[in-house]
Structure 1
Amino acid sequence: MAQNSENTLKVAQQAFKHFRHGLETGEWNQFLDMLTEDFSFWFPMGKFHGLNVGKQRAQEFFQYVAQAFTPGLQVTSLDRITSNETTVVFEFRDEGLLFGQPYKNRVAVSFDVRGDKICGYREYFGSDGKSN
């Protein structure tokens, strides 16, 4: 069954709302509830560098994110949303404290949608935290 791009965008926007809530509060349950059991994600650095598979691994990752960005990150702008039948990319800026140090970045997150769930996630960031 082919997905339609309107439903994909709707599901991804709901997931991004939960994702943003997770960044801002460290509470990821609503986002995690939207993931498929075979969820996979790609992260560009650190302990979770490369491809990671499974909802349990995602739970470990987002718990790590919550600890790294205590008390949370603020999304300061949502700059662009790009979508097709299966994937939606959100480009945004955020800032806060990373392990207690000032942090500011430009980020793109890509959600792969299957039905009403997120089955894949990729994250890319471009600023070193010191630039605007």
Structure 2
Amino acid sequence: MTSESANTLAVAQQAFTHFEHGLATGDWQAFFDMLTDDFSFWFPLGKFLGLNVGKERAIEFFNYVSEVYEQGLTLTLDRVTSNETTVVFEFRDQGLMRGTPYKNRVAVSFDVRGDKICGYREYLGSDGKSN
């Protein structure tokens, strides 16, 4: 593994730890602190469908996620794949979505620039057990 790849992986893993904490507790500040001002993200549905640009838009999105899953989500990490600039985390999550039991399989990718996250993409897929 090159030093650039190792740095990318280390930064993304730290961000994922903060991401997981945000999903569990609604406290996203440590994750927000790792985002670049020009952070962009792609989401596959709802009012954030498609490409979204800017750290402020990301803050709005992740706070919205905490409203939808107000009791938090727990994650089980299945796989991590990385290269020089991007790290993909595949996981299962579960909790309550607006009071209804929820389970899903998710892949998220973090694009890394220096010691910050500059991009995020999320992909959803049912595990066949969600209500």
TM (norm. structure 1) is 0.94
**Structure 1 stretches lacking a partner, 5+ long:** none
Do the aligned partners of 1:40 and 1:51 also contact (CA within 8 Å) in 2? yes
**Cα distance, 1:129 vs. partner?**
6.5
Give the paired residue count.
129
1:60 and 1:129 mapped to 2: Cα distance? 29
**Structure 1 residue 100: Cα displacement:** 1.0
Deviation at residue 58 of structure 1 after TM alignment: 0.2
- 1:124 aligned residue: 123
Per-residue deviation, residues 24-62 of structure 1 (Å, max 9, x unmatched):
001101000000000000000001000000000000001
Q: CA RMSD in A?
A: 1.5
Matches within 5 A, 1:11-90: 11-75=11-75, 77-90=76-89
Match of 2:93?
94
Name structure 2 gaps, 5 residues minimum. none
Q: CA deviation at 1:128?
A: 6.5
Distance in 2 separating the partners of 1:81 and 1:43: 20
Q: 1:22 to 1:93 in 2, by over 3 A?
A: same
SS at match of 2:13: helix
Secondary structure of the residue that 1:70 maps to in structure 2? Answer: coil
